[in-house]
């Protein structure tokens, strides 16, 4: 799957900014790949991009309309249909990370087929994968892992890609979830592949490369999350990372979706991830900690980052507040 | 999925006994649920059951024809079609663990639909599952885990069910693979569910039960197998076992399908499984070791079992040579 850029980001009738978080991520990380945004009447989200009609975006070369808005239950709203059909008519493909498939909507499927356009349902892998070989391959890989779901694994991987590229290194973000795939223009929703092929899909996603090339693989879930740990372990074995960065959110009261179940300690989580990673790659090592400290005041955040770094002996950053440069320094120094 | 018994076991034109190993398993563990076997000309396998025509089996009450033979590439042979259609006509459902689906064969699909019969493609889950809740539930569960694939996890779980029932305990084998599902008459091929739902499918498979009821859950793969560990971990978290039995094959030169990669030590494998199991159930404990010593002479086998028991301080059996009574003693004593 390769999603053609540049994009027109469709925000629909998003009731607030959070409903447009997919588009927000794309605009934040691939602004140069977006010609603008398209908002329907009543839309309360704004990415700060030029507001364009489908016709204007097409004239500026937009090649894909990204459905950048989440709807209740992952549905494709009837309200959006006219815009989507218009985009198809004007030469664009359509990409969506929603649960419901574009290709299950007869009007969209038929129009796309008639015009030879592609409907990218990025949450649903459209190809089959081999079982993982477990064989080592050339190139270097870093995987972001977590104490829990939704702790900044995608953001951290993208920040590491940006910092490595800024320093002139060869680096590619490898997306494993919907928003990441729309940002990268390709990838695999690993939690949606058949269980036997989690690791095989990850091997496919991060293939052999130049010896000095870094893949920054987006992690999913946590080895400690009782709902999703199988995905996390399959990803860890398939990525065969040389380096891991552990992501967490200080102060979160319990694992996401599991009330009463506390997050693991960073120390335990580091040790377990290292043990499991070394099954696939004996040289795997933890190179840093990325904390989302957005709920803390500046002084608390600084103190938390310093205390964590001192306790664990690893560079500890908040990718938003401090950037990830200390982790990249450590990664490249050793 | 509930597969109606009694069964007629179809061996087709199996070139040897190994090709009929699915039927072999069913005949071994559920002989009382089989009216007989049906063999085509040239069949070299024999289960020691009465040879019956479809008509004779139907007259004896057979309710399902089990495709008990593996074909190259998991295909449904043209040669078998006449027998399968005959079984449908005479009132039977059909069940298959092959990779290719019965329901993808137009002639079979149409005949089954016309007659109101069910085609069970047990390798392919036909239902959807919820994400795992991670909540504790009533009843007791034992999971068989392994150092590797194909080390006797299904056999051991079935032997434990049999021994528990023999002693008057409430116990049910819970199948997670094709052969197990055909034996049990139901279950879930956990390696074929979408990755996000591995643990959720396992929770569904082994639901709340009486406090003194044991589910014997069939394990899959190994936490150490680089191709399949995600499935193994999802199963471990979803089963929330109170007790684990570790299965292995002494002397195997490398992990199945991964040349050059040795099996983990029993000690390491015990410790890691216990750590991961206690995330879901803090009371989880290892209650025994089951070794497949079929490649060893009797005296070597005895010495290996004794040495392992002494080293690890756990009852160590070969389910075929010695039975599993010592593990059940230990399970019930504590």
Are residues B223 and A233, on separate chains, in Cβ contact within 8 Å?
yes
Mean pLDDT along residues A322-327: 98
Among B132, B227, B280, select the one facing A131 at the smallest CB separation: B227
Are residues B224 and A279, on separate chains, in Cβ contact within 8 Å?
yes
The DSSP result for A132-199, as a single string, is P-----SSEEEEEEESSSSSSHHHHHHHHHHHHHHTT--EEEE--SHHHHHHHT----GGGSBGGGHH
Mean pLDDT along residues A299-318: 98
Q: How far is A60 from chain B (nearest CA, A)?
A: 39
Instruction: State the Cα–Cα distance between residues B90 and B85, nearest whole angstrom.
Output: 9
- pLDDT above 90: percentage of residues in chain A: 96
Q: How far is A154 from chain B (nearest CA, A)?
A: 18
Asked whether residue A71 carries a pLDDT value surpassing 90, the answer given is no
Average pLDDT, chain A: 96
ipTM computed for the complex:
0.94
CB atoms < 10 A from the CB of B172, how many? Answer: 17
> In this complex, is the C-beta atom of A279 within 8 Å of any C-beta atom belonging to chain B?
yes
Average pLDDT, chain B: 96
Q: How far is A129 from chain B (nearest CA, A)?
A: 12
Chain A from 83 to 142: CB within 8 A of any B CB: 131-134
Q: Could you tell me if B218 and B180 are in contact, meaning their C-beta atoms sit under 8 angstroms apart?
A: yes
- DSSP assignment, residue B160? H
Mean pLDDT along residues A199-214: 98
Domain range summary for chain A, segments of one domain joined by +: 7-121, 140-333
Domains A7-121 and A140-333 share a fold: yes
Instruction: State the Cα–Cα distance between residues A233 and B232, nearest whole angstrom.
Output: 9
CATH 3.40.50.720 fits B7-121, yes or no: yes
Mean pLDDT along residues B141-159: 98
pLDDT tens by residue, B98-122 = 999 999 999 999 999 999 999 999 9
Instruction: Determine if residue A182 is left, alpha or beta; phi over 0 gives left, psi from -120 to 50 gives alpha, anything else beta.
Output: alpha
> In this complex, is the C-beta atom of A6 within 8 Å of any C-beta atom belonging to chain B?
no
Among B195, B232, B257, select the one facing A231 at the smallest CB separation: B195
Q: How far is CA B192 from the centre of its chain?
A: 14
How many Cβ pairs closer than 8 A exist between chain A and B?
Answer: 122
- pLDDT above 70: percentage of residues in chain A: 100
Q: Give the per-residue pLDDT at B1.
A: 64
Superfamily of domain B140-333: P-loop containing nucleotide triphosphate hydrolases (3.40.50.300)
Among A196, A224, A226, select the one facing B192 at the smallest CB separation: A196
Q: How far is A84 from chain B (nearest CA, A)?
A: 29
Asked whether residue A122 carries a pLDDT value surpassing 80, the answer given is yes
């Amino acid at each position: 799957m390769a999603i053609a850029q540049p994009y027109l980001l469709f925000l629909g009738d998003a009731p607030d900014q959070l409903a447009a978080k997919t588009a927000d991520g794309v605009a934040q990380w691939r602004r140069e790949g977006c010609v603008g945004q398209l908002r329907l009447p009543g839309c309360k989200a704004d990415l700060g991009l030029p507001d364009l009609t489908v016709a204007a975006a097409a004239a500026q070369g937009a090649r894909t309309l990204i459905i950048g808005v989440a709807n209740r239950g992952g549905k494709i709203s009837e309200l959006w249909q006219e815009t989507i059909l218009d985009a198809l008519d004007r030469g664009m493909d359509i990409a969506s990370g929603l649960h419901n498939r574009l290709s299950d909507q007869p009007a969209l499927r038929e129009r796309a087929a008639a015009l030879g356009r592609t409907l990218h349902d990025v949450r649903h892998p459209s190809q089959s994968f081999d079982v993982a070989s477990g064989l080592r391959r050339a190139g270097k890989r870093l995987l972001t892992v977590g104490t829990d779901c939704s702790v900044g694994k995608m953001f951290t991987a993208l920040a590491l890609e940006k910092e490595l590229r800024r320093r002139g290194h060869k680096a590619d973000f490898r997306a494993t979830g919907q928003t990441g795939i729309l940002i990268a223009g390709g990838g695999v929703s690993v939690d949606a592949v058949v269980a036997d092929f989690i690791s095989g899909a990850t091997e496919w996603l991060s293939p052999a490369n130049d010896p000095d090339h870094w893949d920054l693989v987006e992690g999913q879930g946590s080895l400690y999350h009782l709902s999703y740990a199988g995905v996390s372990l399959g990803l860890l074995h398939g990525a065969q990372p040389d380096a891991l960065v552990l992501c967490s959110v200080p102060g979160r009261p319990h694992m996401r979706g599991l009330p009463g179940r506390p997050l693991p300690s960073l120390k335990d989580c580091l040790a377990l991830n290292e043990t499991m990673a070394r099954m696939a790659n004996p040289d795997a090592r933890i190179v840093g900690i990325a904390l989302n400290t957005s709920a803390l005041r500046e002084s608390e955040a600084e103190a938390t980052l310093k205390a964590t770094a001192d306790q664990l002996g690893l560079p500890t950053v908040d990718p938003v507040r401090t950037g990830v440069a200390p982790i990249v320094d450590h990664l490249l120094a050793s």
